[in-house]
C-alpha cells in the first residue's frame, strides 16, 4: 500500500500523535474515538487485532481497559514506536491485504484512520480479509469519512496524497460485497478531526453540544461495526 512508504519516514512517525491528538481538541478526539471503538467492539473478552496500529495509541488504551489486543502495522517504524511505549505488547509486521493469521483468529478487528486513504475496491478487498480473520460471530470495526475539506479543489494542493470520502450507501454496498452485514454505525465530528487540536477548550465544549444536537447525516466521520452475513 502506498501509505506504508509515507510512514517509513521517521519524522512523520514522530509527529503523528501530535498532528492527530495534540492540544485539548486532539485529546478530546482521542477520548471520543476510544469510547466509541470500545462500545462497538463490546466487552473485553476474546482477542482483538488493531491494524494499522500506528504508534499504538488505540492499542494502549484498549490494553489499559482490559482487552487482549495485538498491534499490527506495515510500518516497522510505527511498530517500534509502539514498542517503546510499553514492553510486552504483541506486535506483528504485516500488510493488511494479506494478514498472517488463520481464519477466525480474532474475536474483533479494528481498522481506524485507513480507509480515507484508499479507493473503494481496495476497501472492499481489505474488509474481506478482516472478515476472514474474525470468522463467524466476529466483529469488524472501521471508520470512513463522508466528506473532507481536503477534497476541495482550492485546498488539495496543500495536502499530500489523495483523500477518499464515501456516502453511506456506498459504504453499505462495500460491506455487503465483503460478505459482512452492518450491526451498528455511529457518526461523529462536524469538522475534520485534525482541526480539533487547534480549537480552544471553551469553543470545544460548545461545539460538542452542537454536534450532539445535529442530524447524524451532517457529521463527517462514521464508525461502523459489522459481522459475517
Domain CATH for 192: 3.40.50.150
Backbone dihedral region for residue 23 (phi beyond 0: left; psi -120 to 50: alpha; all else: beta)? left
Q: For residue 169, give every residue at least 6 positions away whose Cβ sits within 8 Å of its Cβ, in sequence order, or none.
A: none
Cα–Cα distance measured from residue 114 to residue 117, given in angstroms and rounded to the nearest whole number: 6
Strand-pair category, 91-93 with 68-73: parallel
Q: Indicate the pLDDT class of residue 6, thresholds 50, 70 and 90.
A: low
Edge-first strand listing for the sheet containing 108-111: 91-93, 68-73, 47-50, 108-111, 139-145, 221-228, 180-188
Q: Give the residue with greater pLDDT, 2 vs 168.
A: 168
Domain ranges, residue 108: 2-228
Task: Give per-residue pLDDT as tens, 7-59.
Answer: 777 888 888 888 889 888 899 899 999 999 999 999 998 999 999 999 999 99
pLDDT score at 154 = 44
Q: Give the residue with greater pLDDT, 196 vs 93.
A: 93
Task: Give per-residue pLDDT as tens, 75-106.
Answer: 999 999 999 998 889 999 999 999 999 999 99
Least confident of 60-69, 131-140, 156-165: 156-165
Helix or strand holding residue 200 (H, E): none
Q: Which residue has the cell 471553551?
A: 202
Q: Indicate the pLDDT class of residue 151, thresholds 50, 70 and 90.
A: low
The model carries a pTM of 0.91
Per-residue pLDDT at 189 exceeds 90: yes
List phi, psi (to 5°) of 148.
Answer: -155, 140
Contact yes or no for 86/80 (Cβ under 8 A)? no
Task: Give per-residue pLDDT as tens, 165-177.
Answer: 999 999 999 999 9
List phi, psi (to 5°) of 7.
Answer: -85, 10
Number of domains composing the chain: 1
Q: For residue 11, give every residue at least 6 positions away whose Cβ sits within 8 Å of its Cβ, in sequence order, or none.
A: none
Amino acid at each position: 500500500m502506498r501509505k506504508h512508504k509515507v510512514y517509513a519516514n521517521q519524522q512523520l512517525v514522530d509527529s503523528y500523535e501530535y498532528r492527530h491528538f495534540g492540544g485539548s481538541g486532539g485529546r478530546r478526539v482521542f477520548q471520543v474515538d476510544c469510547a466509541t471503538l470500545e462500545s462497538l467492539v463490546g466487552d473485553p473478552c476474546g482477542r482483538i487485532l488493531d491494524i494499522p496500529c500506528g504508534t499504538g495509541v488505540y492499542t494502549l488504551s484498549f490494553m489499559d481497559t482490559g482487552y487482549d489486543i495485538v498491534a499490527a502495522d506495515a510500518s516497522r517504524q510505527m511498530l517500534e514506536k509502539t514498542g517503546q511505549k510499553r514492553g510486552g505488547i504483541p506486535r506483528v509486521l504485516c500488510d493488511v491485504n494479506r494478514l498472517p493469521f488463520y481464519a477466525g483468529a480474532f474475536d474483533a478487528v479494528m481498522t481506524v484512520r485507513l480507509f480515507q486513504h484508499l479507493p473503494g475496491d481496495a476497501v472492499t478487498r481489505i474488509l474481506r480479509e478482516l472478515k476472514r480473520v474474525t470468522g463467524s460471530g466476529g466483529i469488524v470495526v472501521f471508520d470512513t469519512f463522508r466528506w473532507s475539506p481536503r477534497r476541495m479543489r482550492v485546498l488539495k494542493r496543500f495536502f499530500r496524497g489523495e483523500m477518499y470520502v464515501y456516502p453511506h450507501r456506498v459504504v453499505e454496498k462495500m460491506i455487503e460485497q465483503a460478505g459482512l452485514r452492518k450491526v451498528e454505525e455511529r457518526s461523529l465530528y462536524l469538522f475534520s478531526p485534525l482541526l480539533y487540536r487547534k480549537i480552544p477548550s471553551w469553543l470545544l465544549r460548545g461545539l460538542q453540544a452542537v454536534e450532539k444536537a445535529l442530524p447524524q447525516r451532517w457529521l463527517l466521520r462514521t464508525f461502523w461495526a459489522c459481522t459475517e452475513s
